[in-house]
Each structure stands twice: as C-alpha cells, then as structure tokens.
A and B are shown apart, each in its own frame.
Chain A
C-alpha cells in the first residue's frame, strides 16, 4: 500500500517568507508526528497529533512554527518569517492504533532551504 507522502520534496525560500509543508499519512493511521533533521543529526521531535488534536507540541521551537490536522488525516506544518536556521529536512511519520511504541512509518521528508 501507499506509504507516507510529503510535499514538496524540496522547498527553497527567502528569509522572512512563509512556508507550508504537507504530510499525507498512511490511510487509517491516527497518530502523526513531525520532526526536523539537520545534516549529520538524528531527527528532532516537533509535534505529535492523535486524531485532529495536537497531543504534544513541546518540540516546536518557537511561535513561528504551527501545525494543523483539521480532519485527522493530512497535516500541514506552517513556518512564518523563516530564518536561515530553519533550513533542514522536515520529516513526517504516522502510526496506527495499537502499534508498539516507536513503530512509526516515516515519509521521505521535505528539504527546506532558507536563503
């Protein structure tokens, strides 16, 4: 079946601009996670959704970052007033109800470059 998809695969934007990154999880997966990964580092947790609600947003670095999942499936990560330090690969993952802890299915990521 189809895996987690993320669009766009690459995004180049200028400092100060607004960007939206989209995640389509595996159909039926209720849990959805956003991470960002810098070169040579492990993923950094940003936010976790269970259904439509953000159950844990403790990883969002500041109020420029916001994420939504209005219908409990597709999610959008929104970054306002982008800074060069926001450049990274943004990963999305989903998992089904009852999955063991840690069993997440990751998408290929969106590479964000802020110039």
Chain B
C-alpha cells in the first residue's frame, strides 16, 4: 500500500534553533515528492518539488533533500513566522499517468520568540 508518513507530529523550536522534519514514503514508483506549508484556515502553499534521490532545493531558511526512502525539510535559524504545518506529498508513477497525489499528515511547527 502506498503510504506517506511524517515525523515528528509536532515540533516546538526556539527562534534560531535549527531542526529537520522527516517525510518517509513507501510507494510503488515515485514521479515526484513535494513540500507544502499550510497556515491555519488556509490552503497549502507550494514550496518544493524533488524528483530523484540526491536532489536538494533551497528557499530562504528552508532546504529540502531527497533519498530513496525519505525526504528531509531542514529549517535553519527559524523565525516565528515559520510557524505552520508542513505537508509532504508524493505523486505516483501510474500506467494511466494519473495525477493522484498522496499527502502525509503533516508536522505542526511552532517557533517561539
């Protein structure tokens, strides 16, 4: 069964305290892995797409990496405005080229001033 899990479920950091969020996946064929940020009461906001193991993407204080079984979202010197739920999703390789995305449950990040 295709599955995406994220850990930790929740994370509290002090401002400036770097850390990493984990996304593990067991899928039968990966077309891409994606990270999103979601603020309360809003839809997710796209952050990154990763296609293959070894790939890295950066945006401001965020850096996403990908291996064959998992992805990490590294947050360097976070600020309170980085507080949000971070969602990981995968798109599966299917014969019908469907657009079925599978999301993980998310990690709720709180950055305290």
Contact = CB atoms under 8 A, between A and B. Distances in A.
Measured as residues with beta carbon below 8 angstroms from the partner, the interface class of chain A is 20 to 34
Interface residues of B, number: 26
Interface string B54-79: 00000000000000000000000000
A93 B43 contact: yes
A93 B100 CA distance: 13
Interface of A: 4, 31, 33, 35, 40-45, 48, 55-56, 58-59, 91, 93, 100-109
Say what secondary structure dominates the interface of chain A: loop
Contact of A48 (B31, B34, B99, B103): B99
A106 B34 CA distance: 14
Given A42-B89, A101-B32, A101-B34, A106 B43 contact: yes
B43 A41 contact: no
Given A48-B99, A55-B99, A56-B99, A104 B104 contact: no
Given A101-B34, A102-B34, A108 B42 contact: yes
B36 to A, nearest CB: 8
B49 A45 contact: no
- Of the candidates B4, B44, B45, B96, the one having the most CB atoms from chain A within 10 angstroms of its own CB is B44
A45 B100 contact: yes
B104 to A, nearest CB: 5
A103 B46 contact: yes
- Of the candidates A41, A100, A104, A109, the one having the most CB atoms from chain B within 10 angstroms of its own CB is A104
Contacts of B43: 4, 91, 93, 106-109
A58 B32 contact: no
Given A48-B98, A102-B49, A105-B46, A40 B105 contact: yes
